[in-house]
Structure 1
């Protein structure tokens, strides 16, 4: 674990309110229905907490631990060269909710926080929610303008598609 400071405030804000967005940041909230049932929830939660979903996206994950936990440093590498250093801020593992959030560290193209949470609603439906607030930190993220935002939303939607695929065969009808 490093002691590098986060590049934004307020750290941990996505834990209690995924729609929270501080002034000067852009919000993102993408929900994807994964299926139904406890088995699917457990499979999705494990894939999320062990970086399997991210690796299946085709990004490189360099993590200081095999499982998400507060204080674990993670660097996501996109397209083979864009490095995004982060640190896990919080995790949750409850009977109907599991996930984590990371905050950006120096060198990340964006500045902010992103949360990935799988939850099972009262009717048994399982959802992935990707929630974030961010603003550009690197020149190329700023130069990308709306295209950068489009990429972020596409990435969040792809998380849902990939996690649904990883959970195929575990849904209960």
Structure 2
């Protein structure tokens, strides 16, 4: 009862909301919204149904992201719309967190993945999708599509360096996913 009473006496904190209007725009990568930096990255990570399923599971259960060394906290074990995700990177006091929410998922016969959007307080504003595709010839392809723009002073200050870091992170995800599929 004491625990319940103390939780009731705490001030109510509003839940962060998505920080952009173009929700689910990464579903159509060829039509990303104007006014943002666009990222499109694609790489082959394997071949065959087993590689596709392994890659899809690594993406949607956060294993791929965690294998980069980033700290990822999610309120579900698997990507689903509305799941809150907090990703942080860095060391000690230099660790920077980024709060997101899954906005759409695809669990299909030839396509598995999800997209998350930035929440208020995130250093960027936008959305990013992580998809695994099984092509007709059996090729397994990983794609990252994103649109973003700075949301705080330090990402504005970073200027053209921020998109370069985003591309490097997408490449790192592809390399890690390829390794996860092989093992």
**Shared fold by TM > 0.5?**
yes
- Structure 2 unaligned runs (5+)? 1-13
Q: After superposing the two structures, state which structure 1 stretch, 124-133 or 74-83, moved more.
A: 74-83
Q: Which protein has the larger Cα radius of gyration, Structure 1 or Structure 2?
A: 2
Q: Please identify runs of 4+ aligned residues in structure 1 that moved more than 6 A.
A: none
State which of 34, 38, 42 in structure 1 corresponds to 2:53.
Answer: 42
Deviations 1:32-66 (A, max 9, x none): 11121000000000000100000001100010011
- Structure 1 unaligned runs (5+)? none
**TM-score, normalization by structure 1:** 0.93
1:165 corresponding residue in structure 2:
179
1:151 aligns with 2:165: yes
Higher helix share: 2
3-state DSSP of counterpart to 1:47: helix
1:70 corresponding residue in structure 2:
81
1:118 corresponding residue in structure 2:
132
| 2-structure distance, mates of 1:13, 1:21 | 6
2:115 corresponding residue in structure 1:
101
| 2-structure distance, mates of 1:72, 1:111 | 18
| 2-structure distance, mates of 1:109, 1:167 | 31
3-state DSSP of counterpart to 1:151: helix
| 1-structure distance, mates of 2:96, 2:31 | 27
Number of residue-to-residue matches in the alignment: 167
> How much does 1:3 deviate?
4.5
| 2-structure distance, mates of 1:3, 1:92 | 25
| 2-structure distance, mates of 1:155, 1:37 | 25
> How much does 1:19 deviate?
3.1
3-state DSSP of counterpart to 2:73: strand
